């Protein structure tokens, strides 16, 4: 399973970066291969100052070794070897009418003292963070998510959509980071699902990413925008930073497992503003977004 999924995310990284380069039309991904002192490493690919993408990264990593002490409590073990691999991506477009997107698909194994697999699971998802809300874009993104789920189990989409709204919640702001998508974690063997079934599900979601995101980019990338639109985008990006640094378990996991800082924090947006006590005007497009972030909707 380990080798199969590693092979999958390597290929997926190639597919996604070439799809994004095509839609950008100018910038290409710069690649950094890195090694982790305690075992493993990764292949980080970053795009900057493109026609469409102001900054973004599509990274894979495969790390292994002793589970760091700081993570033992989180996983409820005292001393264990682990393996983790995944693809993680964040794209921050320049145009405020093109949404930011985040996705992640990962696989984790923990071993007993004889080296046998003591626990294993998949996790991941994909979610959209618009600065201006186009309802048809939200519907499109969620429809692709739902279709990927429905092939496997009709209960998956509502369940993982809800988990996504709950996870990407900026509690201290009382609003969602974005308009959600899918989030799942610790997908492991059950009565209905073997690990090989979860592999099929997770890779189906991974395969759906470009279909979920690219049509939205194509539709919005040429819209003209004002300085006010741009300021709003940069203020909202501040909320993105707040979520990632205060609440996101993935980011904190990376910081605590001696991950490569630049690869973890490539998720942070390029230009960001914090304005004291900023509130959009009543009945503006900006306020419309906030209301949806405060009360997640069913899009499909």
Contact set with a second copy (CB under 8 A): 32, 46, 48, 55, 57, 172-173, 234, 238, 241-242, 245-246, 255, 261-262, 265-266, 268-277
CA–CA dist 61, 33 (Å, integer):
10
HSE, CB side, 13 Å, CA atoms: give it for residue 211.
Answer: 12
State the DSSP H helix or E strand holding residue 229, giving kind and residue range, or none if neither.
helix 227-242
Give 30 or 151: the residue with its C-beta nearer to a second copy: 30
**Which DSSP category does 25 fall into?**
S
Q: Which residues are catalytic?
A: 102
Contact 73, 46 (CB under 8 A): no
Q: Which is nearer to a second copy, 172 or 291 (CB)?
A: 172
Beta bridge partners of 106: 86, 123
Q: Which is nearer to a second copy, 155 or 262 (CB)?
A: 262
Which of 266, 242, 241 shows the shortest CA–CA distance to 254?
266
Least CB distance to a second copy at residue 24 (A):
16
Alpha helices in 125-226 (DSSP H): 135-150, 156-167, 195-220
Tell the smallest beta-carbon distance from residue 248 to a second copy (Å): 11
CB of 242 to a second copy, least distance (A): 6
**Rounded to an integer, what distance in angstroms lies between the CA atom of residue 142 and that of residue 159?**
13
Give min distance, CB of 271 to a second copy, in A. 6
Task: Tell me the closest approach of the beta carbon of residue 44 to a second copy, in angstroms.
Answer: 9
**CB of 163 within 8 A of CB of 184?**
yes
Nearer to a second copy (CB atom), residue 143 or residue 273 = 273
Q: If you ran DSSP here, which 8-state letter would residue 247 be given?
A: I
Residue 166 vs 262, nearer CB to a second copy? 262
């Amino acid at each position: 399973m380990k080798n199969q999924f590693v092979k999958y995310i390597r290929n997926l990284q190639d597919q996604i970066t070439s799809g994004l380069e095509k839609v950008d039309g100018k910038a290409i991904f710069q690649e950094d291969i890195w090694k982790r002192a305690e075992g493993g490493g990764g292949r980080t690919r970053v795009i900057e100052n493109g026609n469409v993408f102001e900054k973004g990264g599509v990274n894979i990593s495969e790390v292994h070794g002793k589970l760091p002490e700081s993570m033992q409590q989180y996983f409820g073990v005292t001393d264990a070897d682990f393996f983790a691999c995944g693809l993680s991506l964040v794209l921050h477009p320049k145009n405020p009418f093109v949404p930011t997107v985040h996705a992640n698909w990962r696989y984790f194994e923990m071993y007993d003292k004889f080296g046998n697999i003591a626990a294993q699971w998949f996790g991941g998802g994909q979610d959209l963070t618009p600065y201006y809300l186009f309802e048809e874009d939200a519907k499109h993104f969620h429809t692709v998510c739902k279709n990927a789920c429905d092939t496997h189990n009709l209960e998956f989409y509502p369940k993982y959509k809800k988990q996504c709204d709950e996870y990407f919640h900026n509690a201290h702001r009382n609003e969602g980071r974005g308009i959600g998508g899918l989030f799942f974690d610790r997908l492991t063997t059950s009565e209905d699902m073997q690990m090989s079934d979860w592999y099929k599900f997770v890779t189906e979601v991974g395969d759906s990413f470009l279909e979920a995101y690219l049509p939205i980019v194509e539709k919005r990338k040429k819209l003209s925008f004002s300085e006010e639109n741009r300021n709003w985008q940069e203020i909202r990006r501040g909320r993105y930073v707040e979520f990632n640094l205060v609440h996101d378990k993935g980011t904190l996991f990376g910081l605590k497992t001696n991950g490569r800082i630049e690869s973890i924090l490539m998720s942070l947006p390029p230009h960001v503003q914090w304005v004291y006590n900023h509130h959009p005007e009543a009945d503006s497009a900006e306020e419309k977004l906030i209301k949806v972030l405060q009360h997640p909707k069913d899009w499909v």
